[in-house]
Amino acid sequence: MEQEISILGLVADASLIVQLVMFSLFLASLVSWYFIFQRGAFFKNAKRDQLVFEERFWSGMDLTQLYKDASAGQSRAGLELVFKAGFKEFNRLKQQEQIDSSAVMEGTLRAMRVALSRESERLDSHLPFLATVGSTSPYVGLFGTVWGIMNSFLGLAQQQQATLATVAPGISEALIATAMGLFAAIPAVVAYNRFSASADALYGSYETFADEFSSILHRNVHASKKPKSE
**What 3 state SS string does 32-96 have?**
HHHHHHHHHHHHHHHHHHHHHHHHHHCCCCCHHHHHHHHHHCCCCCCHHHHHHHHHHHHHHHHCC
Please give the chain's pLDDT, 230 residues, in tens: 444 446 666 666 666 777 788 889 999 999 999 999 999 999 999 999 889 888 888 888 888 888 888 877 666 668 889 999 999 898 888 887 777 888 888 999 999 999 999 999 999 999 999 999 999 999 998 888 888 787 777 766 666 665 555 566 667 777 888 888 999 999 999 999 999 999 999 999 999 999 999 988 888 776 655 544 43
Please provide residue 162's backbone torsions phi and psi, each rounded to the nearest 5 degrees: -95, 130
